[in-house]
Amino acid sequence: MRHLQKLIFLLFVSISLIGCQDNLDRDPDITGYVVEQTENNILVASESAIDLSSNGGVRNFYQMVWFSNPP
């Protein structure tokens, strides 16, 4: 009986982990230039600037996003 419980538990965990891999091969949310790189991360700046001067911000604002474990 104990072996059956272990088998059911391992089956459940395996199915759960397989479901976590659905969106690994999707298009990136941002495209641009790598401006900084560490061992496991990259910082990507957007290709085009956004003008925020009408709200008192800077004229050339570039969105930046850190990505973990890049290919």
Q: Which residues pair with 50 in a beta bridge?
A: 61
26: DSSP letter: S
pTM comes to: 0.55
pLDDT in tens, the chain (71 residues): 677 887 887 777 777 666 666 555 666 667 899 999 999 999 999 999 999 999 898 999 999 999 898 87
Of 35, 52, 31, which is closest to residue 43 (Cα–Cα)? 35
